[in-house]
Amino acid sequence: MNDILFERRGVAGVVTLNRPDALNAISHAMVHAFAEQLAAWEGDAAVTRVVVTAAGGRAFCAGGDLRALYDLGRAGRYDEALQYWRDEYRLNAIIKRYRKPYVAIVDGIAFGGGVGLAVHGSHRVAGDGARFAMPEVGIGFFPDVGATWFLPRLAGEAGTWCALTGERIDADDASALGLATHRVASSRLPELLDGLCGAVPVDALLAAFAESPGIGPIQAHRDAVGRLFGADRVEDILSALDAASLAAASDADFARRAAAAIRTKSPTSLKVALAQLRRGKRLDFAACLRSEFRIVSRVATGHDFYEGIRAVIVDKDNSPAWRPPTLDAVSDADVEGYFAPVPAELDLS
């Protein structure tokens, strides 16, 4: 298929996400093809590493095919939508467990499902234009594709900031936080790709190309992030941000912007996201993905996900009517319900 291309170049299996008009959003067919090719290359002794790139220059991958999922849900075809997530989460697990070096070269936006295609690999290269984000709470969804695992493991409370605000993380912050393993200038990425197709060991080659990251916006406010995002209730985080925004301190504007961003998101999504991150600290990777499938099984039949996509992608009025509309209307019992077992659990075997 033309939306995702596979090529043997020297000792490398090269994947090119090739749907630039859709910002390389990953469709169900792309998920299937990707998983099948990874399995084939894992058993091919002539392939010593996998390199994932993207066409178009603007995006590595903007995430899942939200319009397709919206159409399935509006038609009541929930089982088909859930099969997409089953297969996507299985692909995340395949990448996480891959026995050969897996190098994702990110030099554009990587949102949601796009982060999942990169962050679980053994090596993640951030070019100058790399922008990582988990913006799901802004469309009535939640940070998935293994975010239950990787967000709580970022330094301080950066993962909580990321999940609740949905804001972008630049290449320097991504490198400092560990979302990226190597920071490489965009001008050198073609040369790096050529090198990765040769016999030089991956670690040695990346070390030769990598540069020290600068201080990104999150690193500049890392103490404030750790202090303001540590509570276990969204309401308490907002209270801390509001107080900080009124203080005569260098973090006041940062706190004000964060609070304003959070208040635009789905109240249900915010509470579910914070709960999943707190739980994720204690879970292994497979348990995190199973937990996410339990959540998505409820989200897929709910209201806010489809309302969020309607407001952002379909009608583009950017005025979602969340249900319920306020944080205090989302009870602890409501949140707990998203984590309950489902009849057909996610099978990662």
pLDDT of 32-73, one tens digit each?
999 999 999 999 999 999 999 999 989 999 999 999 999 999
Using the predicted structure, report yes or no on whether residue 248 has a pLDDT greater than 80. Answer: no
Spatial distance between the Cα atoms of 330 and 342, rounded to a whole number of angstroms: 21
Spatial distance between the Cα atoms of 124 and 114, rounded to a whole number of angstroms: 12
Query: Model confidence over 143-166: pLDDT tens digits?
Result: 999 999 999 999 999 999 999 999
Spatial distance between the Cα atoms of 323 and 321, rounded to a whole number of angstroms: 7
Which pLDDT band holds residue 331 (cuts at 50, 70, 90)?
A: very high
pLDDT cut 70: percent of the chain above it = 100
Q: Quote the pTM value.
A: 0.97
CA 12 to chain centre: 25
The pLDDT of residue 325: 98
Which pLDDT band holds residue 349 (cuts at 50, 70, 90)?
A: confident
What 8-state DSSP symbol labels residue 304?
Answer: H
Q: Quick one: which of 53, 38, 16, 147 has its CA closest to 94?
A: 38
Which pLDDT band holds residue 251 (cuts at 50, 70, 90)?
A: very high
Q: What's the chain's average pLDDT?
A: 97
Length of the chain: 349
Instruction: Clarify whether 113 is annotated catalytic.
Output: yes
| Region at 215 (left for phi over 0; alpha for psi -120 to 50; beta for the rest) | beta
Task: Please tell me which residue in 88, 136, 172, 173 is annotated as part of the active site.
Answer: 136
Q: Which residues contact 187 (CB under 8 A, 6 or more apart)?
A: none
Task: Please tell me which residue in 73, 108, 113, 140 is annotated as part of the active site.
Answer: 113
The pLDDT of residue 247: 87
Q: Which residues contact 3 (CB under 8 A, 6 or more apart)?
A: 17, 18, 19, 27, 29, 30
| Run of H or E including 7 | strand 4-9
Which pLDDT band holds residue 267 (cuts at 50, 70, 90)?
A: very high
Using the predicted structure, report yes or no on whether residue 1 has a pLDDT greater than 80. Answer: no
Task: Please tell me which residue in 3, 13, 63, 64 is annotated as part of the active site.
Answer: 64
Using the predicted structure, report yes or no on whether residue 249 has a pLDDT greater than 90. Answer: no
Spatial distance between the Cα atoms of 11 and 197, rounded to a whole number of angstroms: 5
Instruction: Clarify whether 136 is annotated catalytic.
Output: yes
The pLDDT of residue 103: 99
Task: Please tell me which residue in 3, 65, 144, 157 is annotated as part of the active site.
Answer: 144
Distance linking the first and last C-alpha atoms of the chain: 27
The pLDDT of residue 245: 95
Give CATH for domain 1-215+266-349. 3.90.226.10
pLDDT cut 90: percent of the chain above it = 98
Which pLDDT band holds residue 250 (cuts at 50, 70, 90)?
A: confident
Mean pLDDT of 289-317: 97
Using the predicted structure, report yes or no on whether residue 110 has a pLDDT greater than 80. Answer: yes
Instruction: Clarify whether 7 is annotated catalytic.
Output: no
The pLDDT of residue 135: 97
